[in-house]
Amino acid sequence: MKIGFAPDVMDGRTTLVTGASSGIGAVIAAMLAAHGARVALLARNEKELRRLAEQIESGGGRAVAVAADLTDGGAVAAAVRRTEELLGPVDQLVHCAGEARNQAFLCDQTEEQWMSPLEINLVGAFRVARAVVPGMMERRRGGVVMVSSVAGKRGLPANTSYCASKFGLNGLTQSLAAELGAFGIRVNAVCPGLTDSPAATDGGRYGDAFMASLAKHHGPPDLTWERYLRRAVGATILRRLVRPEEVATLVLYLLSDLSGGITGQAVNVDGGAL
């Protein structure tokens, strides 16, 4: 018996993907579309969303750009309404939008800097879930995947607000799964480690404040992002960065009927943490 994903494993399901303009989110959206999903792409960068939508449609998929800022509940609700007008009711949600800028030791952060990851990673998840879950409950079907992080399972220095947001996202996943199981809706999280995307490979994307704070309090004083990243990757079993496609494949599996007995889980894809 041959086991694997069929091209139509998503079977025309309407899937909303946040954080779809780049990185892991863009790869997830493209993979879901390649397997039959009608994909709504949500992020702030409308230009990049339209570019990805055109790429997906040129390959025979179906995708629309619904730009919105996850810090604006009204904009999120409007994006969901637009998705339903263009593609039909939202069957599945993937929350991949993430914020990790300005991470530093807590003593070096302003309140605004500390709150920023929570506003996108956790409160943003609430806003978009709140907009789509009631419809799923009415139809008594649906699937949700939260893209969390291994930082949602263990604390890391100079990452207090990012870890707090991801720990919270894993808690939201478990609680939402408990609420929605009776309605035939499954909710899971995936927890990537360091992934081969700009968020990890471009030290400037994570922020100079992170390296300065880590060098100041833990040292050495000349610590660089390249040295930090090399050491972190070398501490994994596979000794390499996780590929975005590996994260996307896990999301695809958790949304598909092949994982029908799995809910309330936070599954690592981290190269094997030592």
- What distance in Å separates the CA atoms of residue 268 and residue 169, rounded to the nearest whole number? 14
Residues 6 or more apart whose Cβ sits within 8 Å of residue 129: 93, 95, 144, 172, 176
Angle between helix axes 124-139 and 160-180 (nearest 10 degrees) is 10
Q: Is 162 a catalytic residue?
A: yes
Catalytic residue among 162, 206, 228, 253: 162
Beta strands in 8-73 (DSSP E): 14-18, 38-42, 62-65
Sheet with 14-18: list strands edge to edge.
62-65, 38-42, 14-18, 92-95, 142-147, 185-192, 266-269
CA pair distance 155, 177, nearest whole angstrom: 24
CA distance from start to end of the chain = 36
- 51, with CB counted inside 10 A (0-12, 13-18, 19+), is middle
Task: Classify each residue of 228-253 as buried b or exposed e, where b means 16 or more C-beta atoms within 10 Å of its C-beta.
Answer: bbeeebeebeeeebbbbebbbbbbbb
Q: Cα–Cα distances in Å, from 123 out to 6, 36, 64, 230, 266?
A: 35, 30, 24, 32, 18
Which positions are catalytic?
162
